[in-house]
Amino acid sequence: MVKIQVQAWDQVVDYDPASGKSLYACLVEAGLPVPGDCGGKGTCGKCRFKLLEGELAAEAYQGLAGKYPLACRARPQSDLRLAFLNMERDHRILVTGDRLALTGPKRWRQASFKLDRDLLQAGADLETRLVQELDVSSFPAQVWQGLEIERNQTYRAIICDDRVLALDLQAEDARIYGLAVDIGTTTLAASLINLETGEEVSQASALNPQIQQGADVLNRISYVMTEGGRGLKQLQQAIRRAIQSLIDELCQEADCPESAVYGLSLAGNTVMTHLALGIDPRPLGQSPYLPVFRSGQQLSAKAFGLRKIPSSAQVMTLPAVSAYIGSDVVAGAYAAGFSELGKRRLLIDIGTNGEMLVQDGDRYVSCSCAAGPALEGMMISSGMKAAAGAVEECLWQDGQFDLQVIGGGKPQGLCGSGVLALIREGLRAGLISYRGRIIDPESLAPDDARRPYLKVDDQGKRSLQVASQVSLTQHDIRQVQLAKGAIRSGVEVLLEASQLEAEQIDQVLVAGQFGRHLAEASLIKTGLLPEGFAGHLSYIGNSSHSGAYLYLMDQDAAQGLEALARRIDYIELSRLDDYDRVFARASLFPKLKRK
């Protein structure tokens, strides 16, 4: 065994050289947040590190490594001390979003009763009497387990809908709490909620640790295909640990005991939900792309694997439509009022997985596309999360790029909104053609203000260098074009299926973590969305979390979400005869006039 120590981490990891595993795989299995977008395949270059002590074989420096080795190619033979180059912190993760008000009966309540003479003599057994006393469907015997049954003792029942979940001794200030959780492909967002009042007490967020097995759902399905049951267990444990960490953080911030958490609602795409429940996702990645379930699921915290909250606490997943229109979309649509009939509108969640839904009166039609992680700053040469140092916006004016940096410091990379803004301004400045090609610097006059930004490497590959550490390569633009083509083609297909023109859509609701930070100009001027949507865009934030909140709290919302999910039709883009043509056209940028 050799010892691996990463600067800024206290933990020392043992590595067995005989295992043949990469350094990346070893650190990931130890539960450490290794930077990387490609799941250790050597295609993103984000796991580069500075070797402080020890030696490595030459293979660690191959591929995208440059002068710094890649953890996914390194197989240590001696003790190492190292520092990763892409350790990002202070990510901006959006937790909440717009949502409907609570209107229906609340799902949760407490009820107390005393085992006095009247109660004990009123029936043949306690269950029969307590069902009547508390107005519940049943009073299961297991809630008495671990409790001493004493006369004249006052007990408290925790009730969800009409089911008794738990029983304990009545205590003062015995509030009950729940969590609404959005399980995104890239991020997790949660809030702690007083289940009786609906008050959001605290908020927390984190990166989804499954990123280390792949930046998108297809890579994670592929990981399970390769690793089998071991891989599925690893992904499930990663999300379970992350949710437990969120519970710890939320309860600590609110000064709330974890024993008071009795409910969790989880919204996410269908793959994320399957993985969270430990259900094999491989059927979702193979034709005919069938999920194991679509309806909302309920299981105990004990069955889910959460140990610090009461074992009978309920973990609830929201309903989905199909393999690739998950409960996050249904949650967002319900929270945005899509259950109200008669309107023409589009809901679009722009992220690693692009999901969209068109409502035309009483008809709903949806589709999804594998947009990939480029629009979130991943698989981009200078890409990074939306953290301090990331370029989030830019403007071409007076012959130069004016960069807006998160935190106001020196530019260190491009987050998703910065990537799209740079392409938008590159198109406007004539540095990028409508086909996505970076222009040849030799085609410009020597004194052209654009020329210093154009770089050509030894292999003839072009890039835009906008800061000392920030560039946009031709490959980066192609990655964005793939994402743009996927999203725009999905919009075009839904409009055609609904027999609507873009101008006929009254409202375009942009949901999600990434969409919140996109300027309308970036979406329209790059052609990611049609020109006819201009002036009709609204940003509704993390609508998946909003729907999870409503599902957790409101009986009518829980039923309404299930009903809405059943009404939504789904179009599988890959099965359309002319989809390749639609996608190719959608991948092109608009021809903009140079300014």
Lowest-pLDDT choice from 111-120, 231-240, 411-420, 558-567: 111-120
Q: What are phi and psi of 50, to 5 degrees?
A: -95, 125
What mean pLDDT do residues 132-156 have?
89
Nearest one of 496, 483, 572 to 528, comparing CA atoms: 483
Q: Residue 375 has what pLDDT?
A: 77
Contact (Cβ atoms closer than 8 angstroms) between residue 223 and residue 214: yes
pLDDT level of residue 38 (50, 70, 90 thresholds): confident
Tell me the per-residue pLDDT of 510-548, one tens digit each, with 9 for 90 and over. Answer: 987 666 677 899 999 999 999 999 999 998 988 999 999
CATH homologous superfamily for the domain 2-84: Beta-grasp domain (3.10.20.30)
DSSP 3-state assignment of 560?
Answer: helix
Please tell me the predicted confidence (pLDDT) of residue 260. 94
With a cut of 60, say whether residue 310 has pLDDT above it. Answer: yes
SS (H, E, C) 136-186: CCECCHHHHCCCCCCCCCEEEEEEECCEEEEEEECCCCCCCEEEEEEECCC
- What does the pLDDT read at residue 299? 95
CA angle 14, 16, 21 (to 5 degrees): 105
CA distance 29 to 25: 6
Residue 152 scores a pLDDT above 70: yes
Query: Who wins on pLDDT, 47 or 311?
Result: 311
pLDDT greater at residue 264 or residue 105: 264
| pLDDT of residue 328 exceeding 90 | yes
Is residue 406 within 8 Å of residue 92, measured between CB atoms? yes
> What pTM, to 2 d.p., does this model score?
0.82
Q: Could you tell me the pLDDT band of residue 259, with boundaries at 50, 70 and 90? A: very high
Highest averaged pLDDT of the listed ranges 44-58, 66-80, 532-546 = 532-546
Which residues in 398-499 belong to E strands, given as ranges?
A: 400-405, 413-414, 454-456, 462-467, 470-473
Quick one: pLDDT at residue 20? 82
The domain limits of the chain are: 2-84, 90-317, 337-594
pLDDT band, very low/low/confident/very high, at 276 (cuts 50, 70, 90): very high
156-168 burial, b if ≥16 CB within 10 A, otherwise e?
bbbbbeeebbbbe
Higher-confidence position of 5 and 107: 107
pLDDT, tens only, 400-443: 999 999 988 899 899 889 999 999 999 999 999 999 999 999 99
- Geometric angle at alpha carbon 234, from 264 and 280, rounded to 5°: 75
Six-digit token pair at 324? 């690739």
E strand spans, 429-563? 454-456, 462-467, 470-473, 507-511, 537-541
| Each residue's pLDDT tens digit, 175-212 | 999 999 999 888 899 999 999 999 999 999 988 889 88
pLDDT digits (tens, 9 = 90+) for 209-223: 898 888 788 889 999
Mean pLDDT of 339-356: 88
Q: For residue 253, give the H/E element and its range.
A: helix 229-254
Residue 518 half-sphere exposure, CB side, CA atoms within 13 Å? Answer: 33
With 60 as the cut, is the pLDDT of residue 94 above it?
no
Burial of 251 (0-12, 13-18, 19+ CB in 10 A): buried
Q: What is the pLDDT of residue 213?
A: 84
Q: What pLDDT score does 123 carry?
A: 64
d(Cα 40, Cα 33) in Å, to the nearest integer? 13
Q: Name the fold adopted by 90-317.
A: Nucleotidyltransferase; domain 5 (3.30.420)
Query: DSSP label at 592?
Result: P
- The token duo for 435 is 């086909």
Alpha-carbon span 95 to 246, nearest angstrom: 12
SS3 460: coil
> From the CA atom positions of the chain, what is the Rg in Å?
26
Predicted confidence (pLDDT) per residue in 559-568, tens digit: 999 999 999 9
- Measured in Å, how far apart are the chain's first and last C-alpha atoms? 61
